[in-house]
Amino acid sequence: EKGGYDHFMLKEIFEQPHTIYDCLRGRLDAENGNITMSGIQKYAEQIINANRIIIIACGTSWHAGLVAEYVIEELCRIPVEVEYASEFRYRNPIIHKGDVIIAISQSGETADTLVAIEKAKEQGAIILGIVNAVGSSIARASHAGAYTHAGPEIGVASTKAFTAQLAVLTMAALTLGLQKGTLERDKYLLLCKELAAIPEKVDVILKLDSQIKALAEKYKDAADALFLGRGYNFPVALEGALKLKEISYIHAEGYPAAEMKHGPIALVTEQLPVVFVATKDSYHEKVVSNMQEIKARKGKVIAVITEGDTVTPTLADDIIVIPPAHEVVAPMLSVVPLQLLAYHVGVAKGYDVDKPRNLAKSVTVE
């Protein structure tokens, strides 16, 4: 059942080249620059003309929503708000007829997300569901949407569903941006190709498994860890911290790297591992200077960086080198080493990574 892997979580991490490919297949034709997403296209006019998009989700799916906020605002120039479903549903939220809500859920059964969209629907919002489980409650409660087609996710920690969510949301942003005219055709074509190249690049990253396992051994006794990133990689830092927390029970926090100096930097000591998601993008120089701030305080820096980067290796204690990619699609790559890191730390500590304590795969209670 686990296909030769020790755990479902590892199997699902390793499935990602295929699951992302399956998610793109039949929708993205990068050669000819075509994206087919019937659910999104049906509501394209309304989405393009919406005053705002509200993304509603929980946990890892909420992190995918945060990445989507950056991508949709950049490519479609539509204001996006990302909400925790549990907060949104109880807040008497302001919804206007025609507002567009995107609900993101692996299971399609998360109670808070389901109730939140039902409430918004009553108030006239258009609900788009980005869901993995076919025929699930959230899929049925949505007006339209797109399935992530990642296959059943058994490990409690979400991995392959997250990268598939990003793939779907990126395709949607690309097609809407092109139709709206906020995304130029040349850039659209480039990004289609960048997206199509993700599965093979994930494959390259998976070859780092034994290196990441060794890193996990080195840092497994840390009491705390920080995960930092900026821009498209900020939500990846949050996701890296969540994965480590739930699987290894090490207290971890994710932050936008520049927020360090507003408080958390007080935590930095020689004992603290600080994981930087520092791939080459438009934020890179700024991230490098944040890394210097941590090194100056003797924190242990582990950096996920892009092939060919000669600067960060001189600052970091350990590096994980991944293939280059356009910043819009980079989170689908930069999250993979963090999934592996959490997995190997959990295993090194002897924990049941497929069934972490206190957690359920699908949270059907509020």
In the complex, the residues that contact ligand F6R under the rule CB under 6 A are 58-61, 105-107, 110, 113, 157-158, 242, 246, 362-363
CB nearer to ligand F6R: give 19 or 158: 158
The answer to whether the beta carbons of residues 251 and 294 sit under 8 Å apart is: no
User: Minimum Å distance from CB 150 to ligand F6R?
Assistant: 11
Long-range contacts of 236-240 (CB under 8 A, 24+ apart): 236/63, 236/67, 236/277, 236/331, 236/334, 236/335, 236/338, 237/275, 237/277, 238/63, 238/66, 239/60, 239/63, 239/162, 239/335, 239/338, 240/275, 240/277, 240/335, 240/338, 240/341, 240/342
User: Minimum Å distance from CB 217 to ligand F6R?
Assistant: 23
CB nearer to ligand F6R: give 155 or 323: 155
- Cα(324)–Cα(308) distance, rounded to whole angstroms? 9
User: Minimum Å distance from CB 329 to ligand F6R?
Assistant: 21
User: Minimum Å distance from CB 280 to ligand F6R?
Assistant: 27
193, 295, 349, 361: the active-site residue:
361
Query: Residue 62 corresponds to which tokens in the numbers above?
Result: 């909420």
Among this protein's residues, is 2 annotated catalytic? no
What is 118-167 written as a DSSP string? HHHHHTT-EEEEEESSTT-HHHHHSSEEEE-------SSS--HHHHHHHH
- Cα(221)–Cα(300) distance, rounded to whole angstroms? 13
Query: Residue 85 corresponds to which tokens in the numbers above?
Result: 């479903």
User: Minimum Å distance from CB 158 to ligand F6R?
Assistant: 3
> 86: helix, coil or strand?
helix
- Cα(57)–Cα(257) distance, rounded to whole angstroms? 24
CB nearer to ligand F6R: give 105 or 279: 105
Q: Which residue is nearest to ligand F6R (CB)?
A: 59
User: Minimum Å distance from CB 179 to ligand F6R?
Assistant: 28
CB nearer to ligand F6R: give 106 or 233: 106
CB nearer to ligand F6R: give 61 or 279: 61
CB atoms within 10 A of CB 121: 16
The answer to whether the beta carbons of residues 106 and 133 sit under 8 Å apart is: yes
Residues with a catalytic annotation lie at 361
